[in-house]
Each structure stands twice: as C-alpha cells, then as structure tokens.
Amino acid sequence: MAPASFATGFALGFSLILAIGAQNAFVLRQGLMRRHVLAVVLFCALADMLLIVVGVAGISLLIADLASRYAPLLFGFAAIWLAGYGVLRVRSALVASGIGGDNDSESAGLLSTLATVAVLTFGNPHVYLDTVVLIGTVSLQFDGADRVAYGAGAATSSLVFFFSLGYGASLLAPQMKRPNAWRILDMVIALVMFGLAIGMARAGGWLG
C-alpha cells in the first residue's frame, strides 16, 4: 500500500502546487533570468515540505479524537475543496489566463530575493490551507507507514516541482506563453482534482 500512498500524496501535492500564482511566476522569472535559482527553489521547496510535515503530523495529533467521529465531514470537506480547485482550473482554462505581473526583484541581491519569495510564500493564506489543512486532512485516511509514505510523496512533489520550474524555465517558458498550452495544463489539473475529490467522497461514505 505504501507505493500507492506515496503516489496519492505526490499527485495531490503536485496538483495543488501546479496552479500558477505569484510564487510560481516569481520562480519562473528567476529561472529565466538565471539569478539565485538554487536559493529560490530550495527556499520554496523546504517551506512547502515544512508545512506539509506540520499538516500530516500535526493534524493527526491535534484532532485525532475528532477525526474518527467526524471523518465523513472531514472527507466531505476535502472532496468539496478539491472539486472547487478543479472548477477554478476549468474556469482558468476557459479564460486562458497565463503568467502575469511584473516584478523587478529578479535583478535584486540574494537577501532581497529571498525576502520577496518569503512574502510570496508565507503571505499567501492558500499555502496554509493547501498544505496544513487539506493535505493534512487527506492524510487521516492513512495509518503508520502509509501516512509517512503519503507525506513523503507530497513533500517530494514540492521538491520536484520547484526544481523543474526553476531550472526548466528557459525550456518551458516559450511554449507556455501560448494560451492553448495553459488551457491544456489547467484541464489536466482539473481532471486530477476531480478524480481525487471522488476518492475523498468515497472514503467519507458519500458515494457508494
């Protein structure tokens, strides 16, 4: 079961983090400029991994008693949350939004760059909702080694994503500037989200 648990964590973590936002756009721009790429991707990956560990380990300790009592509601909440992300990705695909926003920080020094990425990371409330709350809640369906594998999968997805984004930016950016490329990416994310939402609904007994 551990490989399947790892795959579930990886798929969920990767799907959540794939949604283009200010942090990801900043990492992509740093990759294009080839400035402080290693420091930026390491900061983003380690920050995500820390929050994932807090979610997977902390959620189970803080609400272990409530989890068994309200498991159907928790899984239902996770299913609705995931489905909501899927809907947002579908909407994004329909409007063909791309990476936007100007930022002059890619030409700044290392400390200024890290300060900027720290604000973009920890100043976004969705980071906590995605990692601590959502990934932590989904981890409740696993026990022992499976929960560790699930958390490791989610943490690994952050490492893979940010390194791929930062160092693959020069290869990906020209293609991803095309609106159709973003439509395809958003639809793939939406399908993954909907699939995970169905799994959560079944785990909570909402679907037969």
Most confident option among 52-61, 99-108, 188-197: 188-197
- Mean residue pLDDT of the chain comes to 81
- The better pLDDT of the pair 59, 151 is held by 151
CA distance readout (Å), 10 to 81, 150, 156: 17, 7, 7
**Is the separation of the CB atoms in 23 and 126 below 8 Å?**
no
What span, in angstroms and rounded, lies between the C-alpha atoms of 15 and 138?
Answer: 14
Write the single-letter amino acid at 144. Answer: G
The reported pLDDT for the residue numbered 186 is: 80
Contacts of 7 (CB under 8 A, 6+ apart): 153
- Whether residue 44 is predicted with pLDDT greater than 80 in this model: the reply is yes
Q: How many CA atoms lie within 13 A of 120 on its CB side?
A: 21
pLDDT of residue 204: 81
pLDDT digits (tens, 9 = 90+) for 118-149: 988 887 767 887 888 888 888 888 888 999 99
Total-model pTM: 0.71
Q: How far apart are CA 144 and CA 183, in angstroms?
A: 39
138-188 pLDDT per residue, tens? 888 888 899 999 999 999 999 999 999 999 987 776 776 676 877 887 888
pLDDT in tens, 1-13: 588 899 999 999 9
For 71-85, what is each residue's pLDDT tens digit?
788 788 878 888 888
pLDDT at 19 exceeding the cut of 80 = no
